[in-house]
């Protein structure tokens, strides 16, 4: 096996024989996907697919739903030239090369999201180099993770689901073997807790008492709206409410927790850090998201901090397949989100993607992440920038 030969005292690598040889972010568009059971849209999806190659021929892959040209240019024109030649095993070294820039306003969070994808692809390469699945490299706590299915959201200007449609789709998903569903709340022009309660109640009536139901506020509510929604929904036995409040404000989330028995989850969208949320006693579940916030390397740190505070991890965002390894690998790993529409995009892009079975996803045992793009996909769907 190729290996490092020499590192200087100031930490600059004089020579490494295993090198990152090429990095390319591909913008993919108009990939056909299976629409949700009760809609004919969305039936197409786009994605950013990141390809990292080593000089000995290994390829690591990562993806993101963020396809803005700024992110793609950032990777191809700014990040790639700085890290080509680095050793792919040294994932703690890569962010150091961008430390100053990650605080600068023009780059900021876009840079952190881009570096998250680099980190994911490098962990994929690490696994392939060592012949181990990534969840083993992270600790290998379990081979299956519990999953919940998010559905019922309106996209591409399709009409919002009526309570009856929502209930019918929920019953359909339960018939397929799912035992934990999530729906979005607070999506009205002005969040309407009573309307959301009616929708959640319709779901509960459709699925019976033995299916777990969660709700996701996507950062849209005031404290008063969230308290009203949670108080109304307590009788529906809700498993958790995710990111109900503006900006994930830790002070307000803590206040909400004191007023409801429904567990609170947050950190998918990081305005305040996971550290802020944990230290403020603001959450029952912390939700690191490897695709947005520094990859597996950053999520390991969040998980370790949460473990010290006895807070379990959970997951909420559209990049579920990339978050399976984290939750399978770590002892305080938890639920992974099967976001219906986004999972269909993964199914369309990658050769093999874990699928829910009786409420669980089985993690890939292939070296790396086991998420390999389909042959010819890049040629067929990549868009020139």
The minimum distance between CB 318 and Mg ion, in angstroms, equals 9
From CA 147, how far away is CA 343, in angstroms rounded? 12
48 CB burial (10 A radius; 0-12, 13-18, 19+): buried
C-beta of 54 vs 323, nearer to Mg ion = 323
Q: Taking CB positions, which residue lies at the least distance from Mg ion?
A: 316
Closest CA to 74 of 17, 115, 34, 40: 115
How many Cβ atoms sit within 10 Å of the Cβ of residue 92? Answer: 9
232 in Cβ contact with 255 (< 8 Å): no
44 in Cβ contact with 31 (< 8 Å): yes
Q: Please list every residue from 220 through 259 that binds Mg ion, using CB under 5 A.
A: 242
49 in Cβ contact with 349 (< 8 Å): yes
C-beta of 45 vs 268, nearer to Mg ion = 268
Span from 40-48, 110-118, 181-189, 310-318 in contact with Mg ion (CB under 5 A)? 310-318
Candidate list 86, 119, 169, 216; residue touching Mg ion; CB under 5 A: 216
Site string for Mg ion, 65-84 (x = CB under 5 A): --------------------
115 in Cβ contact with 295 (< 8 Å): yes
274 in Cβ contact with 313 (< 8 Å): no
The minimum distance between CB 242 and Mg ion, in angstroms, equals 5
Span from 38-46, 61-69, 99-107, 214-222 in contact with Mg ion (CB under 5 A)? 214-222
Closest CA to 47 of 61, 30, 60: 30
Establish if 268 lies at the interface with Mg ion (CB under 5 A): yes
Establish if 133 lies at the interface with Mg ion (CB under 5 A): no
Span from 1-9, 58-66, 265-273, 291-299 in contact with Mg ion (CB under 5 A)? 265-273
Establish if 316 lies at the interface with Mg ion (CB under 5 A): yes
Give contact residues for Mg ion (rule: CB under 5 A): 216, 242, 268, 316
């Amino acid at each position: 096996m190729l290996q490092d030969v020499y590192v200087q005292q100031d930490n600059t690598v004089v020579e490494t024989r295993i090198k990152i040889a090429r990095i390319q972010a591909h913008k993919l568009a108009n990939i056909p996907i299976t629409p949700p059971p009760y809609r004919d849209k969305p039936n197409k999806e786009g994605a950013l697919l990141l390809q990292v190659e080593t000089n000995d021929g290994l390829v690591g892959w990562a993806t993101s739903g963020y396809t803005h040209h700024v992110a793609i240019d950032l990777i191809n024109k700014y990040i790639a030239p700085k890290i080509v030649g680095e050793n792919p095993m040294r994932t703690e070294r890569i962010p150091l090369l961008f430390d100053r820039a990650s605080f600068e306003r023009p780059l900021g969070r876009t840079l952190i999201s881009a570096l998250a994808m680099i980190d994911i692809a490098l962990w994929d390469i690490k696994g392939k180099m060592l012949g181990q699945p990534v969840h083993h490299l992270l600790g290998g706590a379990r081979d299956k993770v519990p999953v919940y299915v998010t559905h019922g959201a309106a996209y591409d200007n399709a009409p919002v689901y009526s309570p009856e449609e929502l209930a019918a789709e929920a019953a359909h998903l339960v018939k397929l073997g799912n035992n934990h569903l999530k729906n979005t709340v607070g999506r009205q022009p002005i969040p309407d807790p009573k309307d959301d309660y009616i929708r959640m109640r319709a779901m509960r009536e459709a699925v019976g008492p033995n299916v777990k139901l969660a709700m996701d506020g996507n950062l849209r509510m005031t404290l008063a709206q969230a308290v009203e929604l949670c108080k109304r929904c307590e009788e529906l036995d809700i498993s958790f409410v995710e990111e109900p409040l503006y900006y994930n404000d830790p002070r307000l989330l803590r206040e909400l927790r004191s007023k409801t028995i429904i567990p609170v989850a947050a950190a998918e969208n990081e305005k305040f850090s996971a550290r802020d949320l944990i230290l403020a006693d603001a959450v029952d579940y912390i939700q690191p998201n490897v695709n947005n916030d520094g990859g597996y390397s950053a999520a390991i740190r969040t998980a370790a901090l949460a473990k010290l505070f006895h807070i379990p991890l959970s997951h909420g965002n559209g990049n579920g397949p990339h978050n399976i390894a984290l939750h399978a690998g770590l002892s305080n790993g938890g639920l992974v989100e099967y976001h219906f529409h986004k999972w269909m995009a993964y199914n369309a892009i990658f050769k093999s993607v874990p699928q829910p079975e009786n409420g669980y996803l089985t993690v890939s045992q292939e070296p790396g992440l086991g998420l390999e793009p389909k042959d010819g996909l890049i040629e067929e769907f990549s868009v020139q920038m």
